[in-house]
Amino acid sequence: MVTSNTLHVVSTELTVGSFAMAGAAFLFAGLASHHRFGMQRHLNLFDHVAHFALAFGLLAMPMAIATGIASSPGDGIDHPLLINKMFLSCASLGLALGVLNVRWRQGSKVWAEEWGRRWQMLGGMAASGLILTTASLGGTFSRGESLLDILHLPYDFVPLMPLWLSGLVLLVGLANMVTGRQAAS
């Protein structure tokens, strides 16, 4: 029988691998769009790989979350690391959705402008970086160590906002998206 622990390892590797590839491809796409190292002729390739890998990583993420919950000991969120993992992965999810949405709406023109190409590259890389940090926290939670231990990150500090402030931030974000759509149409 395949346990949820094993499935979690599989789904996590799928997710993290996709995001890692997306992060590297966004870096190369950014370099190519800035005409660095003679990579500009590969921009089309890097662009497609970056966004496809990012989308595939997003598709694999729900399975990683579901198997992670099934395999974690105890009930509910009972450890600071789990909260921080949730926050980081949600930030990454939002950023990745934003990056993909911009690419879908603007098409390849996103690489045509200085402003757009810079932030598309940084947004994609940041989304990947956040997921890799999340995976590193998972290693710390399950095995007590990870590669990022050398950075001495404050794993036990949970930046939890009051409920009212989270609600306010959520409303501002939703209002921003609605007004943005209205302005676009």
Q: Give residues 66-125 in contact with another protein (rule: CB under 8 A).
A: 66-67, 70-80, 83, 86-87, 90-95, 97-99, 101-102, 106-116, 119-120, 123
- Taking CB under 8 A as the rule, does residue 133 contact another protein? no
- Taking CB under 8 A as the rule, does residue 154 contact another protein? no
- Taking CB under 8 A as the rule, does residue 4 contact another protein? yes
- Residue 154 or 176 having the CB closest to another protein: 176
* Least separation in angstroms between CB 164 and another protein: 9
- Taking CB under 8 A as the rule, does residue 6 contact another protein? yes
CA-closest candidate to residue 95, choices 42, 138, 54, 149: 54
Cα torsion 6, 10, 13, 16 to 10°: value is: -100
CA-closest candidate to residue 124, choices 106, 86, 148, 98: 98
Largest CA distance in the chain: 53
